Structure formats: structure tokens, C-alpha cells
Structure 1
């Protein structure tokens, strides 16, 4: 038992040393990549991420654009451009806005080094060519509905013409029968 206590630092001679951290570890800085420090120092980028994750893509786009324009280093500028591209992709309401957002995305992807600065353009690069935003899906749905309505009207018109021809044929038969009845009653 005494050996276990001594090994754990509970012996009277070692107790003071075990409780105090070594002086060299208190003064040694903890390694953090420069990009992480720069991103954390730019509140617009952090607020932009918060806004985007909170669903406010417009505010996020504004904050990312400001952070991109005023970034002091290239990694911060690229991260802000990445956020701006993501926000603009979410905000796209038509083909023109979508094309601009994709152009921002491609600008970021082209400027990003292999492996990125924490973001990897390959994660979305495979998705973007097939990306269909909500406004395109709505347009496609309304186009399908218009096509269905058009086909329905064409079929209704076709049925109306068929019924009209059948009614005319029945009226003709009825007339012929009436004429034959007249001819029989005159005898």
C-alpha cells in the first residue's frame, strides 16, 4: 500500500511537487494553427457562421462579404468566400442568382489549396453540378402541372367532340325514324 501511495505522489516529500504544475508548461504556448486564431478574431465571420446555421442566410451573406473584403490574410479571405458562396447558394431564387452563387463557389474552390484550410472543396464539388435549389423544383413541379392541365383539356375536348358526334348520329337516326313513321301513317 505504501508503494502505491508513493507512486501516486502521496508521500510527504512528493506532495508539494505533485500539486504544482511544472513552470515550463505554464509558459509554453499551446499550438494553434494561425488560420484558427485569425478566424476566431474576426467576429463577422463567426457571426456569419452563426447566422447561416441559424437560418438567416441574408445576414450571413452580408457578414461573410464584409469579412471577405476586409480579411487581413488569405486563409481568412478564403473562409469568408466559402461562407459567402454557401449563403448565396441558399439564397438563390432564380437561374441568374444561382449562376452567380456557383461562380463564387468556383472562385473559392480554385483559390483553395489542396486539403483546404479546414474546408475541402471536394465535399460539395460532386454535389453542385446536380444541385437543384427549391425554386427550380417548384418551377419543374408547376411545369408538370401545366403540362397535365394541358393534356387534360385536350382529352376533355376530344371526349366532347366524340360525344357531340354520337349525339348528332343519334339525332340523325331519330329523324330517319320519324320520317319513316310519317311515311307509314300516310298510308
Structure 2
């Protein structure tokens, strides 16, 4: 994916190179797009960032919108191919990102969920459209398969441990219920004995 001049536009996205600075309206749209992204509506955010990038004449705003679009596409990617396509947008932004200290810069907050949720796909090559299931499986790195199996075994062990804990709790509850039943029977027996003693006391004539 090639990156053109003038705010990191893609080929065919020619715009006047006149730099008039970002307008308050553009900045408001960008802030709104960031808010949509942070609310986890990544598809809507991608549309908003893409619209800003198409409409602006300011290279800085176009660059910020490209950054937001790349992050949004990374978050909506649900397979290796979509992820690598989104990664191309990310690389396009990397190529044109500047290091100035201007007041209008990309928000680093957008990258946080990318790192947390999507990094797995970066280790998986895109699967060709005509690849068979066997070929697709062979394209997955061996280390990733081993790691996935290790995680699966951990999850199975956790499930076994939780089931054992649940079984132990049930046994404890059953034991307590039996103990409660035994105590109730003892109490009932003592009450019966007490009633008999009271009857015998009442049956003895008074010395008076």
C-alpha cells in the first residue's frame, strides 16, 4: 500500500495542498470519532475517520484520521486477512507520522485495545482465498499451535480443579446436613425424656 503526499492520502485521493490549518469543525468531528471508538463502536468509528480523511484539506487532520482509521480497522478485523489489510493502513500511517510537538496529534488511547485484543493476528499469515483447509492449517506457525495447546491444557486443568472444588463443597454440605439431622434427632430425644420426667413429677403426690 503506497502512501501519497498531502496528509498521507492513498493513490487517487488527490486534494489541494493548501494548508489552512484544522478548522474547529474538523477537530470536533475528530473528537467525536475518538469518542465513538472509545465506546467500542469500531465499525462506526472507522466510517467517521475515513470520512474525515476524505474531506479534509489539512495534512495533520488527514494523518490523525488515518491513524484512527487504522486502529478501527485493526479492531474490526476478525480474521488474519482482514487484520493484515488493516495493518497496511497502520504502516501507511507509520510512514507519514511526524514527530512535531504541535497541539493536534493522534490520541495514543486508541492503541490500547489494539494491543490488548488483537495482537494474536499479527503472528498469523493471511490465508489465500483458494487455500484448502489443510493448507490453511499448515500456514499457522508451529509455535502458535503449541502455545494454543498449552493454553487449552491450562483451561482443562482449571475446569478439573473447579469441578473438584465443587464436588468437595457438595460433600461438605451433605456432611453438614447429616450432622444437622443427627442433632435434631438428639434434641427430639431429649425433649421426649424431659416430657416423661415432667409427667412423673406431676404424678408424685405432694407431701403437703
Normalised TM-score (structure 1): 0.45
Higher-helix-fraction structure: 1
Which structure: larger Rg? 1
Normalised TM-score (structure 2): 0.41
